[in-house]
Amino acid sequence: MAIRNIVTVEDPVLRKTSRKVENFDKKLWQLLDDMKDTLKKADGAGLAAVQVGILRRVVIVDIDDGKGLMELVNPEIVEVSEETNEAEEGCLSLPGEWGLVKRPNVVTVKAQDRNGKWCLFKGEGLRARCFCHELDHLDGHVFTDFVTKMLTEDEIRRLQEERRGV
């Protein structure tokens, strides 16, 4: 396993559409394992393969809620709730930038696992937000494409202090 470099928004690869995974082999498993290590080191909630320069429809999500890491291969959103919420989002490919984005409260995703078996994943709240955010990457979008308001440095600092209980 290895830590991969996370590409930043200046890299045109982030604006490209990722291709479907056809082979469920050791190469895919290595990518998933490397993405897991990379996400952990970066202290993020999710990572798309395109963020490490690989144009494949592969996403991992781990929101540290005790449910563990989710590996989503060839994911597609199959259902969203009508109810939405607006909350702050950041991105490992846009370090230090945060903005408000409106997302569905509940999202259901159909995806394959590392062995090619199809599964359904339902996410609420932060998990739903992560599903949307990471799947957007697969189609060449970053959160700033959907932002309603970018946060100032003071607003970001206040959010971080609130999270730490300061």
Q: Which residues are catalytically annotated?
A: 134
User: Which residues 6+ apart lie within 8 Å of 161 measured at CB?
Assistant: none
CA angle 99/140/109 to nearest 5° reads: 85
User: Which residues 6+ apart lie within 8 Å of 154 measured at CB?
Assistant: none
CA angle 124/81/55 to nearest 5° reads: 70
β-bridge partners, 102: 86
